[in-house]
Amino acid sequence: NAGVTQTPKFQVLKTGQSMTLQCAQDMNHEYMSWYRQDPGMGLRLIHYSVGAGITDQGEVPNGYNVSRSTTEDFPLRLLSAAPSQTSVYFCASTQDRVTGELFFGEGSRLTVL
């Protein structure tokens, strides 16, 4: 049972570089989301998607792009990395975005120098 799979687990970037964090789920969940976790700030929603072709912004979307071309995949793109984006990123999914249990991936730890 793979669940929610994130790659890479660790990444170091220089300021201004771009990269994509990958997220895939094999549970046929319609709803997927990205959170970032920072000390003292807790987990905050970046972007979410309620199905293929539909995405929307969360509370901290600036500097990130997402797309949802398939039910399984929900990549998060950093267009021009900044030190403020140093964080641990978590992808999550659920079958029902209102009543469903949310399942998280193992996280991607990103450092921007």
Partner 1 sequence: KQEVTQIPAALSVPEGENLVLNCSFTDSAIYNLQWFRQDPGKGLTSLLLIQSSQREQTSGRLNASLDKSSGRSTLYIAASQPGDSATYLCAVRGIQGAQKLVFGQGTRLTINP
- Of 19, 27, 82, 102, which one interacts with partner 1 (CB under 8 A)? 102
- If binding is defined by CB under 8 A, does position 61 make contact with partner 1? no
Before 75, cis peptide (omega within 30)?
no
Query: Interface with partner 1 by CB under 8 A: which range of 16-24, 69-77, 79-87, 105-113?
Result: 105-113
Tell which positions 1-40 bind partner 1, by CB under 8 A: 33, 40
Task: Output the smallest distance, CB 56 to partner 1, in A.
Answer: 7
Give the CA distances from residue 47 to residues 13, 31, 75, in Å, rounded to whole numbers and listed in that order: 21, 11, 10
Residue 39 neighbours by CB distance under 10 Å: 7
Tell which positions 67-96 bind partner 1, by CB under 8 A: 90, 92
Nearest to 31 by CA among 10, 7, 11, 55: 55
Strand-pairing partners, residue 110, are: 11, 87
Q: Which residues in this chain contact partner 1 in the complex, by CB under 8 A?
A: 33, 40, 42-43, 45, 48, 56, 58-59, 90, 92, 97-99, 101-107, 109
